[in-house]
Amino acid sequence: MIKKFFKLLVLILVIVGIILGVRITLKREIPEIYEKEIQEKIFSMIQTKSVEATKFYTYGRTFNIEGKFPNVSKDNFESVKLVVTDGKDYDKEYKLDYKFEDNVLFFSSTEINTGLVLDDLPKSEYYILLRLKLNNSIEAKYYSFSTNLQHKEITYYTVTSEQKNRMAKISFNKQNYNNKEYNLLTIKLEDTQLPEEVYDIVIDAGHGGKDVGENLGADNEADITLEYAKLLKESLENNGYKVKLTRDDSNTNSFTYTNMYDEDGRISIACKSKAKLMISFHINQGFKNLSGFEIYCPCKSNLLFAGEMANKIKEYSNINFSNNHSFKRIDGVYVRNFNETIINEFKATANKKGYEPYAITTDTPYLYTIREVGGLATGAFVDGRNKDYSKNEYYDSNQGIECYQIELGYIKNDLDIIKNEKENYIRAIQETISNNY
């Protein structure tokens, strides 16, 4: 009886061992099978010829790419789109802007803050492709990307959600398949936690230290904007975000009119944070007939976020939309770029001081808080050639912060409302951020 029991026990153990062995083998082999199927699908789709990416960058939570494709006739052209696929279940197309110069197709993202939102991608590996359809072809053709850029990789961290984050590695690489070499642009996402130095949101309190900004009596812009920044930080942190201030009580006295690009200056602190969103608080100069708040936005961007924030501020507080019509796009929302007069003034300054003029255009944002934290996306240009300012070490960064500058009102006509409506202002801004981020 005992012998039969032991024989049965041994048999059970052998069967369990076989089952476990099969399960382990399947676990190892199934991903390899999936990987092989994915490779077969991707490499059967794409051409061996790749498209040149002349820029690639993140702005806020969005991935953007610019590039060129030679020998494409405008008369034969039908459409061009960006495609993101995992080779299995996920396959999505995005619109691109395009133009032609001498049979060269140039393409770019349509808006710098819409399109491929990295936070919306499930955890996986993705391939970024260009879909080109010509009139004389029945089917569209798919091309992978290559680049001659010095920086070939971006490490992006998603906005904190329920105390969780993912890391996205965006990189160019080469791969051999069936004795052919392919250039690839891929995104790999994995679960992680934010590194200590990385933040979701950065809040900038305008001016500070020797630079008090606008003032009226005992009240000044620097003190009021710092109050707003602290309140917004607290509100956002209570909603689970990791938040950085560009200045607080510990460093505010060190700021001047010109040190914003120093290593410990406001712009550098913001860029170091690798935040996705920046809110910069300011107060407008006291013109006699002007009042109300204004939200300034980056150009070439979708204004829905700013419009929602403006409407909530108007709804929750007693402050009105500004009656300033210069640079206005919609109620409370403004976009200000350089104009030809100011561009010529910058050129004159450069010629007088003996340095090469900046490559400024009428598409370059005028407000430096918006421009210089956006890097490649917003045409940041403070590279140290003008010795009145130190170099913005992040002016050519391919990771830009989506920045909105909020002018809380006009100091002569709106000061009492600005001081008394802080909580309502903050509620409106925090709710808008939570709805969109």
pLDDT in tens, 59-90: 999 999 999 999 999 999 999 999 999 998 89
pLDDT average, residue stretch 37-48: 87
Asked whether the beta carbons of 310 and 304 are under 8 A apart, the reply is: no
pLDDT average, residue stretch 201-208: 95
pLDDT at 288: 83
Q: Is the pLDDT of residue 23 over 60?
A: no
- Among 114-118, 136-140, 339-343, whose mean pLDDT is lowest? 136-140
pLDDT average, residue stretch 219-245: 97
CA torsion, ordered 33, 34, 40, 45, to nearest 10 deg? 170
Sign, CA dihedral 421-291-428-338, equals negative
pLDDT at 37: 80
**H-run or E-run covering 192:** strand 180-192
pLDDT average, residue stretch 406-421: 97
pLDDT at 15: 63
Q: How many CB atoms lie within 10 A of CB 347?
A: 14
pLDDT at 297: 98
pLDDT average, residue stretch 200-211: 94
- Give the integer Cα–Cα distance in Å for 333 and 307: 6
- Report the residue count for the chain: 437
Q: Is the pLDDT of residue 26 over 50?
A: no
- Name the architecture of domain 201-436: 3-Layer(aba) Sandwich (3.40)
Q: Is the pLDDT of residue 298 over 80?
A: yes
pLDDT at 74: 94
For residue 406, list its beta bridge partners.
Answer: 281, 295
pLDDT average, residue stretch 108-137: 94
Mean pLDDT of the chain: 92
pTM to 2 decimal places = 0.90
- Give the integer Cα–Cα distance in Å for 233 and 360: 34
pLDDT average, residue stretch 122-136: 94
Q: How many CB atoms lie within 10 A of CB 152?
A: 16
- Give the integer Cα–Cα distance in Å for 34 and 432: 41
Q: Closest by alpha carbon to 374, among 205, 129, 202?
A: 202
Both tokens assigned to 416: 């009492």
Asked whether the beta carbons of 34 and 88 are under 8 A apart, the reply is: yes
Quickly state the pLDDT bin for 11 (edges 50, 70, 90): low
Q: Is the pLDDT of residue 28 over 90?
A: no
Quickly state the pLDDT bin for 157 (edges 50, 70, 90): very high
Distances (CA, A) of 173 to 127, 185, 275: 11, 7, 26
How is the chain split into domains, by residue range?
A: 46-192, 201-436
Class of domain 46-192: mainly beta
